[in-house]
Structure 1
Amino acid sequence: MTMTTVGQTVVCAFEALLPERGVAALLGDVQIALFRTHDDEVFAIGNQDPFSGANVMSRGIVGSRGDVPTVASPMFKQVFDLRTGACLDDPEVSLPVYPVEVVDGQVVVGPGDY
């Protein structure tokens, strides 16, 4: 059994995440979106699209702008930096980001505000 620090949550096995795809997870009362990029980095952001209010970011299109890993909202197509949550199309808008790491093959998120 893997021990985690207080406030951290084991969400899933790393291998359960498909490259360039997102999945949603519920941590407490907060929906997050997890993404595994083509180079096996894992990111966790808020799942709620700030422009539409819909919990759909996990269904977004994963890509990049230069060396910035991104996800495009499936609703209105705004693009967000997966590292910082910043909207690249409207710098005044951002998504919450959550610390995430892979420990013994498990995706661990937190601690966060969930």
Structure 2
Amino acid sequence: MNNTMIYNGYTARVEFDPRDNIFVGRVLGITDSISFHGETVADLTEDFHQAVEHYLADCKVTGRAAEKPASGKLMLRVPPEVHAAAAIAAQASGKSLNQWASEALAQAAHA
């Protein structure tokens, strides 16, 4: 079972709550809290879309920027030997370290 949903650039994790017999979801990757629920997949999907739209509208009304799940900038701290090995692997493949790391992260994230 795929336990994620995506809408308007926001990804949510969904779980089934057997006690209440409903699906519950929470948007990932932002510090603001966006949660939703539904008894059926259709209800869950509709509530997810409404929750994201409500969040975006609330941000606009209150004059604050809506958080996006990721900016595209990532700072990592790795051991020096990992950094060196990654740099060598990138050079060997004819890529920049950024290109090589981006491809490696994408492959790992979608595995």
Q: TM-score range by the shorter chain?
A: 0.3 to 0.5
Structure whose residues are more often helix by fraction:
2
Structure whose residues are more often strand by fraction:
1
Highest CA radius of gyration, 1 or 2?
Answer: 2
TM-score normalised over the length of structure 2: 0.33
